[in-house]
Amino acid sequence: MSSLADVDPQIAELVAAEERRQADTVKLIPSENYVSKAVLEATGTVLTNKYSEGYPGKRYYEGQQVIDQIETLAIERAKALFGVGHANVQPYSGSPANLAIYLAFLNPGDTVMGMGLPFGGHLTHGWSVSATGKWFSPVRYGVREDTGRIDMDEVRALALEHRPKLIFCGGTAIPRTIDFPAFAEIAREVGAVLAADIAHIAGLVAGGAHPSPVGHADVISTTTHKTLRGPRGAMLMASDDEHAKALNKAVFPGLQGGPHNHTTAAIAVALREASGDDFKAYAHQVVTNAKALAEELSSRGFSLVSGGTDNHLILIDLTSKGVAGKPAAQALDRAGLETNYNTVPFDPRKPFDPSGLRIGTPSVTSRGMGEAEMRQIGAWMDEVVTAVSKGDAEDVIARVHAEVSELTGTFPVPGLS
Ligand code: DSN
């Protein structure tokens, strides 16, 4: 940091401020995590100086003696960890990875079926404001109003009616196990490519805490920075050679230029970490913690979409608490509890001012917190949300913030000294 502080003290101070903020906050955003010191180190290396368009052994620039070895290690580790025949570690992030799937298998105007964004899907699964919703013909499935869960009969009926060429399963606000075999059966029945977007749950899959899509989905996309606990980036995986070739061509030269080699190295490090027994224990604890937090919130009268969770994520409908998601998330943030406001299925409110809160346990589990801390966090959330609903939250926010600081002081952030 000394040279950064010399060259650009403003940015150095802002980085230090963000370090302090991350250390002092209980991070409950389910798509975030803390990387290890080793992953951070790999990210900040001279590998950022190199162009490597192409793939190992077939590049458009010389000087790839080292980069080829790094990318090959990342690929081999991804294949071994997830049990797939092919991995592409070059997508810059989740959205470009998903766009590569369209380029690989669809023509503009073709039909894609995915979960609607307000029900827990992702923008790139064919939502209207995304290029994938503008350039392709989207069909959307949701969840049942009475259960908050995906209705596989509805998915099958829609697929038979619209005959999509591509079906996405997975999403960003799904608290329940994804039934990969059921999606695969439907995709086979209509002749669609099945893409499993496991961005949120990749670490759980790797650690054996969620069923794997391997053997069911034709292609798998994931980011590397959520439960998988790597740097910001993404991967595409396939078992079949034909799918693999199409994906490779779509990523480069179809969509991207040179891969971000420093990120590739950090992905390789994260994949190595994720193959250890410690990581398996971590993945299971993420789920145990989420269930404990969900139970605490339920017992305090919070309404959870689908009634609870099977994974790392909890979606809360705050309607019964008399508070909207945004003011609740803002008050919680001021109390040191970082969440994000989110739409809930059948939300009568607007996406920028929705009824829900989305929380999760990947980050708090990386800090070593367990079920006792989850119960405490549930109690704090209740106190703050109740105070907001009464319109007099300042004293509660100040007290909870002091208590949160005491807790975070005893659970250091991985990767920070
Ligand atoms: N932004 C991610 C999330 O928070 O779930 C999805 O891309």
> Is 416 inside a domain boundary?
no
CA torsion angle for 47, 53, 58, 61 (degrees, to 10)? -70
CB neighbour list of residue 376: distance below 8 Å, 6 or more residues apart = 407
- In this prediction, the residues of the chain whose per-residue pLDDT falls under 50 are none
Site of tokens 């209980």: 26
Query: CA 316, 321, 324 angle in degrees (round to 5)?
Result: 70
> Is 301 inside a domain boundary?
yes
Cα 223 to Cα 78, 91, 175, 198, 387, distances in angstroms: 12, 9, 18, 8, 37
> Is 11 inside a domain boundary?
no
Nearest to 198 by CA among 220, 176, 166: 220
Which residue among 200, 314, 359, 363 has the greatest number of ligand 1 atoms within 8 angstroms of its CB, and so is best to mutate? 200
Closest CA to ligand 1's atom 6: 172
Q: What is the CATH number of the domain that holds 397?
A: 3.90.1150.10
Which of 53, 179, 185, 295 does the annotation list as catalytic? 53
Helices (H), strands (E): how many in the chain?
A: 16, 15
Residue 403 a catalytic site member: no
Query: Is 84:237 a contact under the CB 8 Å cutoff?
Result: yes
Residues 256, 318: one domain?
A: no
> Is 21 inside a domain boundary?
no
> Is 147 inside a domain boundary?
yes
Domain extent for 306:
286-408
> Is 76 inside a domain boundary?
yes
Residues 247, 211: one domain?
A: yes
Q: What is the pLDDT of residue 1?
A: 53
Residue 222 a catalytic site member: no
Residue 310 a catalytic site member: no
Q: What is the pLDDT of residue 168?
A: 98
> Is 12 inside a domain boundary?
no
Residues 266, 125: one domain?
A: yes
Work out how many domains the chain is built from and give that number.
2
Residues 322, 269: one domain?
A: no
Q: What is the CATH number of the domain that holds 223?
A: 3.40.640.10
Rounded CA-CA distance 338/27 in Å is 5
Residues 259, 293: one domain?
A: no
Residue 382 a catalytic site member: no
Residues 249, 377: one domain?
A: no
Residue 223 a catalytic site member: yes
Residues 101, 75: one domain?
A: yes
Residues 265, 200: one domain?
A: yes
Residues 268, 295: one domain?
A: no
Residues 237, 301: one domain?
A: no
Which of 111, 132, 140, 197 does the annotation list as catalytic? 197
Stretch (H or E) spanning 287? helix 277-299
Residues with CB under 6 Å of ligand 1 are: 31, 94, 122, 172
Residues 45, 114: one domain?
A: yes
Closest CA to ligand 1's atom 4: 31
Residues 326, 262: one domain?
A: no
> Is 212 inside a domain boundary?
yes
The token pair that represents 116 in the structure block? 């609607």
The token pair that represents 38 in the structure block? 């080793």
